[in-house]
Amino acid sequence: MISRGDQIARRSVKNWGRVEVGNQTIERLLYSHEKDKDRKIETAFVEHRNDFLLVWRPISEPPSKWRPLYELRMTRDSTPRIVLPLRKTVTVEGVSLKLPQAELTIDPELRKHLSNLKAEPK
């Protein structure tokens, strides 16, 4: 639990951000924060679960929450009744394994933001 004093201190530091991760919102320190004014987005990365998470948000007032830039989705078998991952043979350290496949995709909200940006009259 974050103390009230820490919450106030975090809000006063410009580099703190609220990030949507799944169905929860977390507060994290932002690293390598950059604004792309032409595309009206901000990007950064945060520490999360002993790793780093790339995040983005549209430039807006008031500022919106940060969102993960990428999504990792399991490539599924098209069987309608049972959800099964498609598997692919992968060699790791000379050992062949049949592992579930996944694909890395750009956040759909970023795609929507950029699509709306293209549609804006100049």
Q: How many angstroms separate the CA atoms of 21 and 15, rounded?
A: 18
Q: Report how far residue 65's alpha carbon sits from residue 31's, in angstroms, rounded to the nearest whole number.
A: 15
Place of tokens 């977390």: 26
Amino acid at 38: D
For every one of its 122 residues, what pLDDT tens digit does the chain have, with 9 covering 90 and above?
555 555 555 555 568 888 998 889 988 989 999 999 999 999 999 998 888 999 999 998 888 999 999 988 888 777 667 778 889 999 999 999 999 988 899 999 999 999 998 887 76
Half-sphere exposure of 7 (CA within 13 A, CB side): 5
pTM for the complete prediction? Answer: 0.72
Q: What integer pLDDT is reported at residue 75 of this predicted model?
A: 82
Work out the number of other CB atoms within 10 angstroms of the CB of residue 117: 13
- 94: burial class by Cβ within 10 Å (0-12, 13-18, 19+)? exposed
Per the structure block, which two tokens stand in for 119? 């549609």
pLDDT of residue 6: 56
